[in-house]
Amino acid sequence: MSVSQGPIEPKMPAQQLHQTLAYRGRKFDFEVSQLELPNGVQTTGEWIRHPGGALAVPVTADGRLLVIRQYRFAAQGWLLEFPAGTLEIGEDPETAVRRELEEETGYRAKTWQKLGEFFLAPGYSDEVIYAYLAQDLERLEAPPAQDEDEDIEVLQMTPAELEAVLRSGQAIDSRIVTAYWLAKPFL
């Protein structure tokens, strides 16, 4: 391993020699690829191909954060999360996050600011999460129905309360951790 100083220089990407679609699902695909790495080594890679997701960090007028508690089967438990959802094919992330905030919390935001984007698990997935700060919230009179596979409870927490939960290890979803730290300078 070499250690470099100064600006990060671009490196050549791996060459894809062969690709096989092993599974096509409702929310993601699973692909197996034969690759040649820039160093000449040939290897097999297994990837989850995902359209990406969008996430809102919703802030009420009094500075509280809307956080959801949702059961996640893969994690075998309840997780604290910010409202988020999967992008439809070709959908703009801001369109998706506006929809998800309304569906999951019953609130609409008048002011949106993009916080950034990040890979969720780049060792095996190309899923990118687009994070937005959502402010000037208004409660919807008739919130849309949640998706049938969602069981969500909406909580309000001060930034200090959420930070204490994050530091305690009670919130272990990487999206809430990353998005909170991206939003913190604006809270």
Catalytic annotation, residues: 148
Q: Which long-range contacts (CB under 8 A, 24 or more apart) does 118-125 make?
A: 118/178, 120/53, 120/174, 120/175, 124/46, 124/47, 124/48, 125/28, 125/47, 125/48, 125/49, 125/50
Cβ atoms of 26 and 68 closer than 8 Å? no
CB-side exposure of 76: number of CA atoms within 13 Å? Answer: 0
